[in-house]
Amino acid sequence: MSDRLILDDGASQVEVEISTVIKALRNAYEEYVKCVMSNKSRDKCYVEAIGILIDAFGSALPSVFYDEDLRYFAVKSADYRWLLYDSESNTYKVVKFRDLVAKAL
């Protein structure tokens, strides 16, 4: 499998190194955790972390899915693969969409 994802914003596609994507996701998570640990409200911390994701992904952000604590991420590639990432354990896996659905069901 390729070590790149193809991000698509609906108008154009760009190939991005998986390590670059993970770095952006991890950065958002770490900033969120640091903010929460400083006793700021989770809502404020969430908004700040989403700002980091917007800066990193721009118009391709709709291809990035995440939970409310920004621990778990799924990034949709235009070639029907998904990058699944756990930012707490810093582990990831790239899977084909059909395999993801088959395992989930």
Mind spelling out the 3-state secondary structure of 13-41? EEEEEHHHHHHHHHHHHHHHHHHHHCCCC
* Between 45 and 10, residue with greater pLDDT: 45
Q: Mean pLDDT across the stretch 2-23? A: 93
The answer, yes or no, to whether residue 70 has pLDDT greater than 60, is yes
Count how many Cα atoms sit within 13 Å of the Cα of residue 5 in the half-sphere of its side chain: 25
Give the single-character DSSP code of 70.
S
The answer to whether the pTM exceeds 0.85 is yes
Confidence bin at 81 (pLDDT 50/70/90): very high
Percent of the chain, pLDDT > 70? 98
pLDDT tens figures, 25-61: 999 999 999 999 999 999 999 999 999 999 999 999 9
At residue 68, the pLDDT reads: 92
At residue 2, the pLDDT reads: 67
